[in-house]
Amino acid sequence: MLTHLPLRLRIFLFFCLVAAAGAALAAGALWFGWSRAETALPDGPFITAFVMFAFLNTGLALVVWLLFDENVAKPINALAADLRLRAHSGVEADLNTDTARYLGDLAHAAQAVSTTLSSGVVDAASEVARKTAQLQSEAERLTALLTEIPVATIMVNDHLCIVLYDGQAAQVLSGIAPPRLKAPLIDYFYAADLGRAKSELNRTGAEVAFELRDKKAEQVFSARLKPLDDTGFMLLIDIPDVDLMPHEPRPLVYDFDLLNAGVVTDLHATPLSELCFVAFDSETTGLSTQTDDVVQLGAVRVLNGRIVEGEVINTFVDPGRPIPPASTAVHQVSDDNVKGAPDFGTVAQDLHGFCRDAVLVAHNAPFDIAFLRRVEGQNDISWDHPVLDTVLLSAIVFGTTEEHTLDALCDRLSITIPPALRHTALGDAQVTAQALVKLIPLLEGKGLGTLSDAIAESKKHGRLLQDLN
pLDDT in tens, 176-197: 888 999 999 999 999 999 999 9
Is there a domain that residue 368 lies in?
Answer: yes
Same domain (yes/no): 280, 238:
no
In the predicted model, what is the mean pLDDT of residues 3-24? 86
Pairing of strands 294-303, 151-156: unpaired
Residue 316 lies in a domain: yes
Q: How far apart are CA 438 and CA 277, in angstroms?
A: 13
Q: Over 70: is that where the pLDDT of 96 sits?
A: no
Domain end (from 61, 95, 117): 117
- What mean pLDDT comes out for the span 117-134? 58
Handedness of CA 398, 401, 407, 412 (dihedral sign): negative
Is residue 235 one of the residues assigned to a domain?
Answer: yes
CA distances from 256 to 164, 232, 276, 392, 449 (A): 8, 11, 15, 32, 23
Same domain for 166 and 89? no
Verify that 204 and 227 share a domain, yes or no. yes
- Specify whether 108 is located in the same domain as 227: no
Does the pLDDT of residue 91 top 60, yes or no?
yes
The mean per-residue pLDDT over the stretch 153-165 comes to 91
Of 207-216, 246-255, 286-295, 453-462, where does mean pLDDT reach its minimum?
Answer: 246-255
Pairing relationship of beta strands 151-156 and 233-238 according to DSSP bridges: antiparallel
Instruction: State residue 245's pLDDT score.
Output: 58
Calculate mean pLDDT across residues 359-373. 95
Q: Is 24 in the same domain as 58?
A: yes
Residues 160 and 12 grouped into a single domain? no
Query: CA–CA distance from 367 to each of 217, 294, 374, 392 (Å)?
Result: 37, 11, 12, 14
CA 216 and chain centroid, separation: 32
**How many CB atoms neighbour CB 196 within 10 A?**
15
Residues 344, 375 contacting (CB under 8 angstroms): yes
Same domain, 311 and 450: yes
Question: In terms of pLDDT, which residue wins out, 71 or 144?
Answer: 71
Please write the tens of the pLDDT for every residue from 199-209.
999 899 889 99
CATH number at residue 306: 3.30.420.10
Lowest-confidence pick of 5-9, 162-166, 339-343, 412-416: 5-9
Confirm whether 130 is domain-assigned. Answer: no
Is 181 inside a domain boundary? yes
Of 27, 18, 104, nearest in space to 62 by CA: 18
Mean pLDDT, all residues of the chain:
85
What percent of the chain shows pLDDT beyond 70? Answer: 84
Which amino acid makes up residue 98? Answer: D
pLDDT tens column, 241-272:
655 555 566 678 888 888 887 777 788 899 99
CB 311 within 8 A of CB 356: no
Segment among 139-143, 197-201, 364-368 with least mean pLDDT? 139-143
Q: Within this chain, do residues 291 and 399 fall inside the same structural domain, yes or no?
A: yes
CA 186 to chain centre: 27
* Ramachandran bin of 272, using left for φ above 0, alpha for ψ from -120 to 50, beta for the remaining angles: alpha
Q: Is residue 91 located within the same domain as residue 110? A: yes
| Residue 47 CA, distance from chain mean position | 58
Which of 308, 313, 208, 336 is closest to 252 using CA atoms? Answer: 308
Q: Are residues 182 and 276 in the same domain?
A: no
CA distance 445 to 393: 13
Pairing assessment for the beta strands 276-284 and 359-362 based on DSSP bridges = parallel
Task: Tell me if 193 sits within 8 A of 215, measured CB to CB.
Answer: no
Q: At residue 117, what is the residue type?
A: L
CATH of the domain at 246: 3.30.450.20
Question: For position 387, what pLDDT does the model report?
Answer: 95
Which DSSP symbol is given to 460? G
Domain containing 244: what range?
149-256
Average pLDDT over residues 373-377: 87
| Domains identified in the chain, total number | 3
Contact 46, 77 (CB under 8 A): no
pLDDT at 321 over 90: yes
Last residue of a domain, one of 236, 256, 276: 256
Q: What is the pLDDT of residue 139?
A: 61
pLDDT attached to residue 2: 63
Give this prediction's pTM: 0.77
User: Is the pLDDT confidence value at 16 over 70?
Assistant: yes
CA distances from 402 to 15, 343, 399, 410, 454 (A): 23, 38, 6, 13, 19
Burial 404-428, CB ≥16 within 10 A → b, else e? bebeebbebbebebeeebebbbbbb
Q: Tens digits of per-residue pLDDT, 217-249?
A: 788 999 999 998 777 899 999 886 655 555 566
Identify the domain boundary among 256, 275, 305.
Answer: 256
Give tens-digit pLDDT for 39-85: 777 888 888 888 898 899 999 999 999 988 888 888 888 777 777 77
Alpha-carbon gap, residue 281 to 351, rounded angstroms: 11
**Does residue 134 belong to any structural domain of this protein?**
no
Sign of CA dihedral 374, 377, 379, 384: positive
- 297 within domain boundaries: yes
Q: Would you state the pLDDT for residue 185? A: 94
Look at residue 336 and tell me whether its pLDDT is greater than 90: yes
- Rounded distance between C-alpha atoms, residue 152 and residue 169, angstroms: 4
Is the same domain home to 33 and 111?
yes
303 has pLDDT over 90: yes
Q: Which amino acid is at 338?
A: V
Using H for helix, E for strand and C for coil, what is the string for 109-132?
Answer: HHHHHHHHHHHHHHHHHHHHHHHH
Q: Are residues 352 and 244 in the same domain?
A: no
pLDDT at 247: 57
Determine the pLDDT at residue 78: 79
- Evaluate whether residue 63 is within a structural domain: yes
Q: What is the pLDDT of residue 401?
A: 79
Q: Are strands 359-362 and 306-316 parallel, antiparallel or unpaired?
A: unpaired
Task: Choose the weakest-confidence range: 137-151, 171-185, 292-306.
Answer: 137-151
